[in-house]
Amino acid sequence: MLNAFRLVSLLEGLSYLLILSVTLGLISRDFVSVLGIGHGVLFMVYLALSLMVSGKKSWPIMGWLALFVASLIPFAFILVEIYLRKLDRKSAMTAQPAGTA
């Protein structure tokens, strides 16, 4: 489930940047409805998966709140990915039996 959340986080962040590109005039306004619907769906899936993952991993409410705030800030999805990779590596190291590296 964590890998699905990471994928959705990446897609949601990129869709947010596409919406901002329309605002900046880099992409035609003809695509606003398509990009808006896509981003809206990804945002809702992001929120649902973030709640599920934070519950499954027993993260504190402030951890989930940080994920939520990150979904509102452009480029913060990169920081979320870095943080989740760090957590993944840490959990993989603690899961290894002693003496194996």
Query: Which two structure tokens, joined as six digits, stand for 16?
Result: 């947010």
Query: Which two structure tokens, joined as six digits, stand for 65?
Result: 């709140």
CA dihedral for 90, 74, 21, 31, sign (positive or negative): positive
Neighbours of 51 (CB within 10 A): 14
Kindly tell me if the per-residue pLDDT of 94 is higher than 90.
Answer: no
Three-state secondary structure call for residue 86: helix
Split at pLDDT 50, 70, 90, the class of 89 is: confident
Q: What share of the chain in percent tops pLDDT 90?
A: 64
Residue-range domain boundaries for the chain: 2-92
Kindly tell me if the per-residue pLDDT of 96 is higher than 90.
Answer: no
Distances (CA, A) of 59 to 19, 24, 90: 30, 36, 15
The span from the CA of 67 to the CA of 69, in Å, is 6
Give the tens place of pLDDT for each residue, 62-75. 989 999 999 999 99
Query: What's the whole-model pTM score?
Result: 0.83
